[in-house]
Amino acid sequence: MALISTWFFVFLIASLIIYYILPIKIRYVALCLSSAVYMYFAGGILGTIVLASFVILGILFAKIMQSQFFSGEARSGLKRLVYIISMLLPVAALLLFKYINPFGIEAPMGIAFYLMTFMGFMTDAYQGAIREKISPVGAGLIIGFFPMMTSGPIVRYGENATNIKEGHKFCYINILHGIQRILWGTFKKLIISERCAVIVNTVYAAPDTFSSAFLVFAIFAFVLQLYTDFSGCMDIVVGAAEMFGIKLPENFDTPFFSRNVSEFWRRWHITLGAWLKDYVMYPVLHSELFRKFKKACKNKIGKKHGEKPALYLSMFISWTIIGYWHGGSLKYIFGVGWWFLAIIVLGELLSPFFGWIKRVLKIRTNNTSYHIFESLRTLMFVGVGLSFFRAASFSVGIDYWKCIFTNAQNQKGMLFSNDIYSLGLDLQDILVLIVAFIILLLVSIIQYKNAKKGTSVRGWLDQQNLVFRWTVYIILIFAVVIFGKYGQGYNAADFIYQGF
Amino acid sequence: MKNTVKTIVKSVSFLLIVAIIWCAITLWVRPTDQMTIYEEPDNTVDMLMVGSSAWYTFWAPMASYEACGYTSFNYAQGGMPADLMKYCIIETLKHQKPSLVCIDARTFVYRAENTVYITEDGKEYLKDNYVRTVSDTMPLSLNRMKMILDISPKLEDPLSNFADLLFYHDEWKQAMNKGTVVKGRDYTKGFDIHTKTTAYDKPDDMSGITAELELPESAEAALRDLLDYCSKQEFKTIFVALPVASEDDEMKMQYNYMSRICSEYGIPMIDSNDYSDEIGLNYETDFDDETHANYNGTTKFTAWFSLYVMKNYPLADRRGQEGYEFWDEDLSKWNGLLDAVFPDRVAGNTNENGGGN
């Protein structure tokens, strides 16, 4: 049951009806049942068993670690052992299903996402970060609430459990906003992402037959494809949850307006970045070993720069894990991990030099044009990294870049000529893509500007007159239905991040 | 309370607007190359032929009109599943009052072989393309909804049958360019002219076989459902097994079985394969393929069946009647078509090259 399928929407409506029919105190029952049914139909028996096992284990381990029995110093070793086991199990499951896979079984749906939530939950329980008594229902739902199952977001018990498990009153605005988000998500996925996918697949299938201009164009098409795919998926997930009155954390915050790569990663897949920072980077940085390392570095190279090696090393570990999490292969470790680490570290090391250039050339940095320049520069770095993400392997990614530097004058060369049709889209599809991209850009600008003021696009839309609002909704609905790439003769691909 | 009512009214109004636009766009992107009985003026069709493609190659309504003055129409689609016929009749009755409904019996015998498929897990489904040619050319009505609802357990993707815009949405590019295709009254009245000739040996005479062979359970269920419906209507019904170039024992025995079931409901059935000599069928020259006639076969069958109807179900001669002038207009277009397809044709004669009366 894919997130964009008629069955999912029928299932969602049925779940909502059951949820709001039940008395408010036991509405969580509808969520638990829906989640179990969804997992069974979308993830099969194995997926259901694995998820159910981790839900039960999560509740059990968290309860044990929170119990009075382990509260004293005397039993801290035992508590630590429980924690280590609770962390080893998901790591083992990930290795077993995703990276080693000795039985050739397809990894259970969404395993990489809910196990991150699971591990975060275990760590919070171990560290005593969860003050309130752990609720089995809350614990079960932060791991297995059905909209989050396929692609996250990765949530934390403390911030989300109560909100998910408590019954929410029926609220027209929640339903309306949820539908808006789902509609916007399907617009991004079916109109933009699926069209970009045609271009990207065509070029990546035979990069040696395209000119450098097309190859570079395809990289940016992939960036757009990935963004609209993943953020579209998140819109559907967040929108579906919102219809139950549940507020899930956002995973995207207009990432392409970022001024540098660090900022980009704070705005792109936010919950994964936050998870790694909270559960990997900072704990590593504050570990005994790293403290000693920091101290040794300070003694050797001085106070000013002494902290940097430990920081970079902890970042290296985090970025490697980010890459590894996407998939065991080098293309992810380099393309989503090390490349960005290199840009961040280099940017920091060279910042005095860049500062000097700005001073000498008297470049004004506090204006829109410089912001645009920085955003485009960030986009370029992101594009380079993600070009490896899309390639079949790291070596294929290298070959792709070789083609970029050697195919300057190739067969299919001119972007603004009939050669454009060799990318797999006809004129009508290209026009639809351009118009949809402009709409996305305009909405993103409004989103970015409103975020600064603390408002949202939906808030802005809510303030408009009924005729305008309805016109927008109707255009969106029929744009998706008519121009969406799905159904007859074309099956919309699954979400890219659903594969992780 | 006031706010709740306001919200409900607003939501319903919005959904209504969406539904209206949805229907309009559906009609815009739906296939337009199949003209239907729904374009005919009300209450002008006296005889309705319902079934598979066999009807539209064997029965030429305009030829029958020219000879006998009967107004008939082939509500026939290639591979029309037997399960849909009842709904086609119901939909037609909203605008027409046929005195006689002729049902293609072959549809039931061929159902298992042609119009359904069995999945690996043993589930029987109707072939989507055959369902769509019927459901997607039917007006957006409650009857259509009921039809899809009733057959939905036999459909793999019932949702896109309910909302056919989801299925045809990708046709928007073609829809934008289809200005040349004109919807309107079909002057052939659902006929499709076939001119190819495939020669066959004359099959053995099966008329002596009286044994019966059961239909598959689902085909029989569809048959009984249709018989039950037809037996309660004002119009008369007849089941017609149209000629095939190779009727075998099994088929004959299934027709016998069908015939007995029909008689339980007081509805007659005729196996025209038993009358091939009377019809004058020449198996070397009158078939396009095993199951379809070319125009030679059409003229022979149409002439024979027109006489059969004249003897058993006297229908009104509408030639020259007030309100039927458009049939004469259509007749001249029809003759124009025949002149174009068979430039050497002489009225009343057939040639040996697939057609031309």
Q: Which of B21, B170, B173 sits opposite A478 (nearest CB)?
A: B21
- pLDDT for res A433: 94
Check B173 against A428: CB less than 8 A apart.
Answer: yes
Residue type, B4: T
pLDDT at B314 over 90: no
* Gap between the Cα atoms of A32 and B139, Å rounded: 42
* Gap between the Cα atoms of B239 and A67, Å rounded: 79
- pLDDT for res A345: 85
- pLDDT for res A165: 85
User: Which H or E element spans position B224?
Assistant: helix B217-231
> What residues contact A216, with CB distance under 8 A and at least 6 apart?
A383, A404
Do B105 and B269 meet the contact criterion of CB atoms below 8 Å apart? yes
Q: Which of A186, A473, A488 is most worth mutating to test chain B (most B CB atoms within 10 A of its CB)? A: A488
Residues of B in contact with A466 (CB under 8 A): 10
DSSP notation for B180-209: T------TTSS----------PPPPP-TT-
- pLDDT for res B46: 94
The most confident of A192-196, A362-366, B23-27, by mean pLDDT: A192-196
Tell how strand B72-76 and strand B100-104 pair up: unpaired
Chain A's closest residue to B22, CA to CA, is A478
Residues of A in contact with B30 (CB under 8 A): none
- pLDDT for res B347: 56
Residues of A in contact with B165 (CB under 8 A): 481-482
Q: How many residues does chain A have?
A: 500
- pLDDT for res B303: 94
- pLDDT for res B351: 47
- pLDDT for res B180: 43
Interface contact B14, partner A, CB < 8 A: yes
Q: Which of A473, A474, A487 sits opposite B170 (nearest CB)?
A: A487
Chain B's closest residue to A490, CA to CA, is B170
User: What does pLDDT average to over chain A?
Assistant: 86
pLDDT at B76 over 60: yes
Do A139 and A62 meet the contact criterion of CB atoms below 8 Å apart? yes
Question: What distance in Å separates residue B119's CA from the closest CA in chain A?
Answer: 19
Interface contact B17, partner A, CB < 8 A: yes
More confident call, A345 vs B223: B223
Interface of B with A in 136-175 (CB under 8 A): 159-160, 165-170, 172-173
Task: Find the mean pLDDT for residues B209-228.
Answer: 91
- pLDDT for res A404: 87
Domain ranges of chain A: 6-170, 175-252+391-499
Digit-coded pLDDT (tens) for A90-109: 989 888 887 777 777 778 88
* Gap between the Cα atoms of A250 and A378, Å rounded: 21
Question: What distance in Å separates residue A177's CA from the closest CA in chain B?
Answer: 14
Check A488 against B167: CB less than 8 A apart.
Answer: yes
Check A487 against B172: CB less than 8 A apart.
Answer: no
Q: How many CB atoms lie within 10 A of CB A198?
A: 18
Lowest mean pLDDT among A45-49, A107-111, B145-149, B209-213: A107-111
Chain A's closest residue to B170, CA to CA, is A482
Task: Find the mean pLDDT for residues B233-254.
Answer: 90
Chain A's closest residue to B23, CA to CA, is A478
At B357, the pLDDT band (50, 70, 90 cuts) reads very low
* Gap between the Cα atoms of A87 and A82, Å rounded: 9
- pLDDT for res A497: 61
pLDDT at B203 over 70: yes
pLDDT at A289 over 50: yes
Lowest mean pLDDT among A117-126, A317-326, B186-195: A317-326
Digit-coded pLDDT (tens) for B7-17: 889 889 999 99
pLDDT at A411 over 70: no
Q: Which of A426, A474, A485 sits opposite B21 (nearest CB)?
A: A474
Crossing angle between the packed helical segments A368-390 and A394-406, to the nearest 10 degrees: 120
* Gap between the Cα atoms of B48 and B61, Å rounded: 10
Do A440 and A228 meet the contact criterion of CB atoms below 8 Å apart? yes
Interface contact B131, partner A, CB < 8 A: no
Q: What is the ipTM of this complex?
A: 0.76
Q: Which residues of A touch B (CB under 8 A)?
A: 6-7, 10, 172, 426, 428, 466, 470, 473-474, 477-478, 481-490
At A180, the pLDDT band (50, 70, 90 cuts) reads very high
Residues of A in contact with B173 (CB under 8 A): 426, 428
* Gap between the Cα atoms of A97 and A27, Å rounded: 33
* Gap between the Cα atoms of A64 and A149, Å rounded: 25
At A408, the pLDDT band (50, 70, 90 cuts) reads low
Check B165 against A481: CB less than 8 A apart.
Answer: yes
Digit-coded pLDDT (tens) for B141-168: 899 999 999 988 888 777 777 787 888 7
DSSP notation for B18-76: HHHHHHHHHHHHS--S---GGGSPTT--SEEEEESHHHHHH--HHHHHHHH---EEEEE
Query: Rounded to a whole number, what is the largest CA-CA distance in chain A?
Result: 76
Check A489 against B14: CB less than 8 A apart.
Answer: no
3-state DSSP: chain A helix, strand, coil percent, rounded to 5? Answer: 75, 0, 20
Residues of B in contact with A478 (CB under 8 A): 21-22, 25
Digit-coded pLDDT (tens) for B188-200: 999 999 999 999 9
CA A473 to chain centre: 26
At A498, the pLDDT band (50, 70, 90 cuts) reads low
Do B111 and B81 meet the contact criterion of CB atoms below 8 Å apart? yes
CATH of B31-341, one of 3.30.1230.10, 3.40.50.1110, 3.10.20.600, 3.90.1720.10: 3.40.50.1110
Tell how strand B116-118 and strand B236-241 pair up: unpaired
Residues of B in contact with A465 (CB under 8 A): none
* Gap between the Cα atoms of B312 and A264, Å rounded: 83
Q: What percent of chain A has pLDDT over 90?
A: 32
Task: Find the mean pLDDT for residues A421-448.
Answer: 90
CA atoms lying within 13 Å on the CB side of residue B235: 23
Domain ranges of chain B: 31-341
Digit-coded pLDDT (tens) for A71-92: 666 677 788 888 899 999 998 9
At A185, the pLDDT band (50, 70, 90 cuts) reads very high
Q: What percent of chain B has pLDDT over 90?
A: 50
Residues of B in contact with A484 (CB under 8 A): 169
Lowest mean pLDDT among A297-306, A460-469, B76-85: A297-306
The tokens 């025995």 sit on which residue? Answer: B253
Q: Where are the alpha helices (DSSP H) in A392-465?
A: 394-406, 427-453, 457-462
More confident call, A310 vs B60: B60
Q: How many CB atoms lie within 10 A of CB B308?
A: 17
More confident call, A478 vs A489: A478
- pLDDT for res A110: 85
- pLDDT for res B181: 47
Digit-coded pLDDT (tens) for A260-270: 888 998 899 99
